[in-house]
A and B are shown apart, each in its own frame.
Chain A
Amino acid sequence: MLQLTNVSFKPQGKLLLNQVSISVRAGEVYGLLGANGAGKTTLLKAISGDIKASGSITLYGKALAQWNRRELAKHLAVLPQSSQLTFPFSAREVVALGLTPLSLSKAQAASLIDEKMHATDCYSFADRAYPSLSGGERQRVQLARVLLQLSQASHSPLLLLDEPTSAQDLGQQHNLLRLTQTLAKKEGFGVVAILHDLNQVLRYCDRCCLLDQGRVSAVDSPDKLLSDERIQQHWQYQPQRVVLGNGQTALI
């Protein structure tokens, strides 16, 4: 669904993305990995259109710049790492902002809002003011908003997650990643996520791309990609491996 070909970004002479070519399929969770400064966030911004990179980025074969804004918003959404929102919207009103590109009747909109808030487990604080919520609660509200935004997609939508677990506690991190995994498997979402925890990468990603100084170092399934040598090379850390009861490996 998403195809990047020779994407480069060089603001003020500094090469932040260097000839990146990757493709993301519908129905997969695609991890972006790399040490700090490797270009993960820049790449995500190039895909979301926040920065203008050279090269070609297409969604369903059509260059992003050629999409109608509203149509693109129905098919591509970004879950922000944090939000600047300081005005006292209720959680429900924030979710309702996901209606912006859609055309729905009032009743349809109301039932979809409820549905997405249940799905992301934020229905219980629907009427509380957004600025009074904890970091984790805010992110779930934002996720509900983003899911609402994608609810009228005619093709499988693409969801971009920028460090989605940074403000969450352990249980919430797994709930969120499990939910995105379900969206990929059951509803065919393509999910591109920046993740730092390699165990989460092993557990939830289907494929991942390892970035190094703005260029693609490797693309593979996580268990093949995350060899001891690569981890040592990119993160300067020698991991230990523990085989779990279910046969999966965990890194310590």
Chain B
Amino acid sequence: MQRSVSLCALALASLLIVCALLSLVLGAMNLPVYDSLLIVVDKLFGANLSQLEDYQQIVVLELRLPRLLLAVFVGAILAQCGAVVQGLFRNPLADPGIIGVSSGAAVGAIVAIVVFPAVWGSWTIPTMAFVGGLLTTLLVYGLAQSKSGTSVLILLLAGVAISAFAGAAIGFLSYFADDASLRELNVWQMGSLTGANDANLWLAFTTMVLLMIAFQRRAQALNALLLGEPEARHLGIDVEQLKLQMIILTAVGVGVAVSCSGIIGFVGLVVPHLVRLATGPNHHFLLPLSALLGAVLLMCSDLLARLVVQPAELPVGLVTVLLGAPFFLILLIQQRKNWS
């Protein structure tokens, strides 16, 4: 087990580096590989090795690099939140997107964009996205709890209802939005990494690190929770406190991810699943490996989004849904035999 975990970690880390390099050099404007890498080294260490022209430097440093970093941070956040939500609901079909949490966060963000754009400065959108995500998580969790555990049917149906409501709310708000807000709204709904800037990079990075630490500290408790709530309680875990902490932390994660990049679906569903196939459901390994694979997946999706229809580009949320939705259907087919 330890060996397969190490191998997996090594493979994913290598993949992350390769994808990052490809993301820097590939795109609508083809740049020399070697110099594109050197300019990053120049930027980091204040050297002067790269031969790139000024406009080419801008493409690498101000467009591609922030974007790939945001993909890494948001991918890692979403994948870990997915793993935690699946553990919390004790169901591999749970995902912040599918159960409606991302939609709730998006409604919060859009209310912030349209109704009161500048109340708390740049914190307005993330805060409102967090509040929307938190309220939705609490609502869905409350609805799906029953004496016999968590009802998957109610979970998924609540997700459908909340996503529909969110869609309507977003439509309603966009009716009142001005042109600039409308463009921003489109980005939220499709999911895009084009808005990467220093402020949201720092926000996403800090959130990713904090979530990694907080989740990892609770990994054993999350493992015990998979046995069932009474069993976890008998093992000395304060289950109610654990659930509340995890709900708040995932709402923070999803809220920040949505505020930085809009709704990016299915990363939280697909990634923990693939990692579980390789190394099992132990959260000690599942959480960090999911963060790595989430980063790789979102970076690759963004690369695809930039390359497929270049010089134009697709919203990255579209790519993850195109990849993730069939995966979800396959999962449903596999689970069908457990339900009948």
List the interface of chain A (C-beta within 8 A of B).
48-50, 69-74, 76-78, 80, 83-90, 93-94, 97-101, 149
Contacts and interface: CB of A to CB of B under 8 A. Distances in A.
The 9 residue pairs across chains A and B that have the minimum distance between CB atoms? A73-B236, A101-B236, A87-B281, A70-B236, A100-B235, A84-B228, A69-B236, A78-B234, A100-B224
Nearest to B338: A86
A89 B231 contact: no
B227 interface: yes
Contact of A73 (B149, B221, B235): B235
Given A48-B230, A76-B234, A87-B276, 19 more contacts: A50-B233, A70-B236, A72-B236, A73-B234, A77-B234, A78-B234, A85-B228, A86-B90, A87-B92, A87-B281, A88-B281, A89-B226, A93-B223, A93-B280, A93-B282, A97-B224, A100-B236, A100-B237, A101-B236
Interface in B187-241: 220-221, 223-224, 226-228, 230-231, 233-238
Contact of B230 (A50, A70, A71, A93): A50
B224 A88 contact: no
A49 B90 CA distance: 22
22 contacts: A48-B230, A49-B234, A50-B230, A50-B233, A69-B236, A69-B237, A72-B236, A73-B236, A74-B236, A83-B227, A84-B90, A85-B226, A86-B338, A87-B92, A87-B281, A89-B223, A90-B1, A93-B280, A97-B227, A99-B220, A100-B221, A100-B224
Interface in B150-173: none
Contacts of B237: 69, 100
Nearest to B90: A84
A130 to B, nearest CB: 10
Contacts of B238: 69
Contacts of B220: 99-100
Q: Mostly helix, strand, loop or mixed at chain B's interface?
A: loop
A131 to B, nearest CB: 10
A96 B281 CA distance: 13
Nearest to B149: A84
Contact of B280 (A48, A69, A71, A90): A90
A164 B296 CA distance: 46
A72 B226 CA distance: 21
A134 B90 CA distance: 21
Contacts of A48: 230, 234
Contacts of B280: 88-90, 93
Given A89-B280, A90-B280, A93-B282, A83 B228 contact: yes
Interface in B245-285: 276, 280-282
Contacts of A99: 220
Nearest to B226: A87
Contacts of B1: 90
A36 to B, nearest CB: 19
B220 to A, nearest CB: 6
A88 B233 contact: no
A80 B230 contact: yes
A142 B216 CA distance: 25
Nearest to A99: B220
A89 B276 CA distance: 10
A198 B258 CA distance: 61
B92 A80 contact: no
Nearest to A50: B230
A28 B156 CA distance: 48
A83 B235 contact: no
Contacts of B230: 48, 50, 78, 80
Contacts of A100: 220-221, 223-224, 235-237
Contacts of A49: 233-234
A73 B228 CA distance: 15
A97 B223 contact: yes
A42 B90 CA distance: 25
A134 to B, nearest CB: 17
Specify which of B1, B220, B281 lies most central, judged by the most chain A CB atoms within 10 Å of its CB.
B281
A249 to B, nearest CB: 36
Contacts of B92: 87
A80 B228 contact: yes
A80 B231 contact: yes
A85 B233 contact: no
Nearest to A101: B236
Contact of A98 (B90, B235, B338): B235
B5 to A, nearest CB: 12
B228 A149 contact: no
Nearest to A85: B227
A139 B338 CA distance: 21
